[in-house]
Amino acid sequence: MKHLNLILVGSLAPFAACAQTIPNPQIDSWYTMLSGRYARVVQVRGGQPTTTWPSPDLPNFGGGQTLPAYSDVQQVGYSAGWIYVLATGLASHQMGPWYVDVQHVLGNWPSNQNLMMRFSRSPRPATQHQLTGGGAQGLWVNGVAMFNMLDTFAWNSQTMRDEPSMNRPSAIWWRNAVLAEANSFDAGNAHQPPSGQYHYHDNPVALRAQLGDHVAIDPLTHKYLETNLGGHSKILGWADDGYPVYGPYGFANPNDPTSPIVRMRTGYILRNGQFGTTNLAATGRHSLGHWAAQLHNVAMQLAPNQFGPNVDQIHPLGIYTEDFDFLGDLGGQVGRDFDLDPFNGRFCKTPEYPNGTYAYFVTINPDGSPAYPYTIGRQFFGEASGGIVQKLTEVVTLARNAGPFSPTKILRLTRSGQIAITFSSVEGGHYKIEASDGTSGNWVLVAQDLRSAGLTTIYHTDAGYSGPSAIFRITLTSLEPYDVTGRPSSNLP
């Protein structure tokens, strides 16, 4: 019986240094399992997934892919003070379709962002809490941008309409994207502006399904459903202040990992007259809750030129972030009435941090619908020193290679007449297989320009061995054209 010994060498990955493994959630939590496959979009209801988009017959107001792009996180590195993450910003779960109403396609399309972000390895509480604004406020573990609840529009009391808020920092009534834009979200609760930056504003339900975080997919409707299966929620992302963002479930007692798993309850509540809140439908938007007044540095009772629109069908309760009050400001008690602070987090023990950490949580209602403020609140808890990086300015050690840089591994070797070699591969990759008898030192070409079958490829052969053992090596020789547009000028070393 011949013993089929294996050796694997060679790769097209541009980073020749061996990856170093660090037992650190900031490195280990990034989702790379499917990063070697192209991102895919379903463009219209009932359509098939495609690796380039949009079709010529569909509207295109921005974004799109003329070449395939790999999905999820591509590389992770670290320095003494920072974790660096390189990602395309495109999810490996199905993206799309997106509509503005029942009939009309949104016309904004996701595109490869090829962004690099960094996160502090030693996050610390802030003495002055920075506002979370428009754009990415962190990164989900699949490399998709983490947006807060805002949609960059706010009420203008002079023109009596919602207008872009970028140049109006003194605006009072800021629009809630989860209500204002939810009709344009795909099944994964994400969408994109004309820039093509795919992002979640709230519960990233498709990512949670991939991670096994209390979400399943209905095989008939292909919709995501909350389940009771699973323990403590997984780390779903990292905020710019370096603290983790968990899914909706944690320990009932924040300091006792043996306590029951419960849904984390937000401390925010609509101002509808219940639980001591002001009934905005009756009074009009003429006042703010305590937290919002502090945030805007104004009195709780507003001047007439600061009033918001009356509550009606066009401006329903909840359409503005200031439509919410915080139970802690109304006599509510943490642990009894709610679980999370105004930043939407708490100090607690988690499976990844048995000694405790500050952590944000995604918040949902008992029925699984999103609960304000959804992820992180209007301010960061910690010093928000991280974010997007255009170029490396320090020595960075590579910790994880993924996507087209993924190391090729022989997964299984079986023999029944022929030898079947099963190896990990990347979509669009072409490989060379060589064999040696283990004694002569000579390598025989077994297969050349073998095209990947996806994330796993199987090749059958009876060639290349005649001695007591067989040694195989597999080399990635080329990649089919893929999108690298906009790649940061300095990748991880």
**Mean per-residue pLDDT over the chain, rounded:** 91
**Confidence check: pLDDT of 7 > 50:** no
* pLDDT tens digits, one per residue of 9-37: 433 333 233 344 446 999 999 999 999 99
Better-predicted residue by pLDDT, 23 or 313: 313
DSSP element (H, E) containing 238: strand 235-239
How sure is the predictor about 4, in pLDDT bands with cuts at 50, 70 and 90?
very low
Most distant CA pair in the chain: distance in Å?
91
User: What is the average per-residue pLDDT within 429-451?
Assistant: 88
Share above pLDDT 90 across residues of the chain, in percent, rounded to a whole number: 82
What per-residue confidence (pLDDT) applies to 168? 83
How sure is the predictor about 490, in pLDDT bands with cuts at 50, 70 and 90?
low
* pLDDT tens digits, one per residue of 217-272: 987 888 899 998 779 999 999 999 999 999 999 999 999 999 999 999 999 999 99
Spell out the domains of the chain, with CATH numbers in brackets: 1-14+408-493 (2.60.40)
Give the separation between CA 433 and CA 450, rounded to whole angstroms: 8
User: What is the average per-residue pLDDT within 96-102?
Assistant: 95
Handedness of CA 363, 367, 368, 374 (dihedral sign): negative
DSSP 248-310: SEEESSTT-TTSPEEEPPPSEEE-BSGGG--BHHHH-S-B--HHHHHHHTS-SBPPGGG--PP
**Confidence check: pLDDT of 489 > 70:** no
Give the separation between CA 82 and CA 123, rounded to whole angstroms: 10
